[in-house]
Amino acid sequence: MSVDTVGCAMAQNSNTAGLVFLMSLLAVLMLLAATPLHAQPFRILRVNIFGDGNPINGVEDSREQVIVDARGQSGLADQRLNSGTITCDGKFRGTAMVVDTREFAPELKGVILMSAAHVVYDLDKKRLFRRCKFHFMGWDEVAGYRSKIDLKNMQMGDFDPAGVTSVAEFGEGDWVFLYLPKPWKKYNPDQSLQAREFSFAHTESYQQSGGEFRLFAFDSSQGFISESINCTVIESKKDDLGGGSWAGQLLDDCDSSDGASGGGIVAVINQRYYLIGIRNGSHWNEHIYSADAYPAGPPQGSVWNRRSNTNFGRAIDSHLLRVLDQYIQALN
């Protein structure tokens, strides 16, 4: 969606503005080509809304609010209702996805969530939070849609809260399975997603068959769960910003805002939704977006490029599926 914020007066200078935009884009591409990928510093940010890089026509934003009436009954089995927010020690922390566990243990009494491990850690104090709660669909003020997280029974990746987050290796262990012993009162098992390993070697045929990638995550600026549609999702390789430094690193251009950590990267095909990854954060190249010129990182609407400005996440793979199975069996 493009939002026109400049009015008719700016349209009179569209040719000049377009030329300036093209010259700026060419300069960025030349800088990218001249900079070895292994020498490129990058930083991590958790907010990214991509676009065509041209501020004149507004910021393109592919997010849509997942709309439902929390008080009604119709439509509550919609698979888009698959996530919520986590608060810890009274602080909002991020997003979590509701995992469908019926294929592993149909009689499991509680609910399994998946999120990014850093969501349940106080990164300032370098320790696990004491108490965390899950709010289905972010409805923290609606009775019947919250549940306590059992932090003593979680399964986490190799995540070090004292580790450095601004390196390409960050993210491999930034995942966690969380257990809710008592689901929220209005829990519906159809409001969950099956976790699946996606073969990105078949992305082209998948998309030709009508498949699509999306991101479900909380948008703290608006206060609701949003659905970012028509995303590009690829595996990181040696020549991109992630450097292919660990297996299962995904790069994506799904628009998101503060609160997206732990959100779900989802494959949608034939009206079925499958959880294929978890959002960790975002990288950008400081040779292009220097800290002096861009202290908050790339401006909203910047072009997505796997070598200069991208989100990243942790893919669901065979290892995580085995861990999930073992975790559920131990709880059951």
Distance CA 160, CA 43 (A): 18
Give the closest residue to 328 by CA, choosing from 83, 96, 107: 107
Distance CA 120, CA 67 (A): 27
| Helix H or strand E segment including 33 | helix 14-34
Residue 299 has φ and ψ, to the nearest 5°, of -65, 155
Provide CB contacts within 8 A for 241, sequence distance 6+: 37, 40, 42, 168, 251, 283, 284, 285, 306, 307, 308, 309, 310
Distance CA 129, CA 149 (A): 11
Whether the CB-CB separation of 250 and 265 falls below 8 Å is answered with yes
pLDDT at 222: 84
Distance CA 316, CA 326 (A): 15
Mean pLDDT by groups of 10 residues along the chain of 332 residues: 25 36 41 40 52 59 68 57 95 96 94 97 94 94 89 95 76 96 92 96 95 93 89 95 93 90 96 96 89 87 90 96 97 90
Fold of domain 24-64+194-317:
Thrombin, subunit H (2.40.10)
Residue 167 carries which DSSP code? S
Tally the C-alpha atoms within 13 A of residue 274's C-alpha that lie toward its C-beta: 16
Whether the CB-CB separation of 218 and 60 falls below 8 Å is answered with no
pLDDT at 60: 58
The bridge status of strand 212-219 relative to strand 302-303 is unpaired
Distance CA 79, CA 115 (A): 18
Rounded-to-5 percentages of helix, strand, coil across the chain:
20, 30, 50
Concatenating the DSSP letter of every residue in 298-332 gives SPTTEEPBTTTEEEEEEE--HHHHHHHHHHHHHH-
Q: Is 103 exposed, middle or buried (0-12, 13-18, 19+ CB in 10 A)?
A: exposed
CA 91 to centroid of chain Cα atoms: 19
| Helix H or strand E segment including 229 | strand 224-231
Residue 263 carries which DSSP code? P
pLDDT at 32: 42
Whole-structure pTM value: 0.82
Sign of the C-alpha dihedral computed for residues 134, 136, 142 and 145 taken in this order: negative
Tally the C-alpha atoms within 13 A of residue 324's C-alpha that lie toward its C-beta: 27
Q: Please give the class, per CATH, of domain 79-192+319-331.
A: mainly beta
Whether the CB-CB separation of 293 and 309 falls below 8 Å is answered with no
pLDDT at 44: 46
pLDDT at 10: 27
CA 6 to centroid of chain Cα atoms: 30
Give the closest residue to 152 by CA, choosing from 182, 122, 178: 178
Whose structure tokens read 């509680």?
110
Domains 24-64+194-317 and 79-192+319-331 are alike in CATH topology? yes
Token duo for residue 234: 């690829």
pLDDT at 61: 59
Q: Where are the domains of the chain?
A: 24-64+194-317, 79-192+319-331
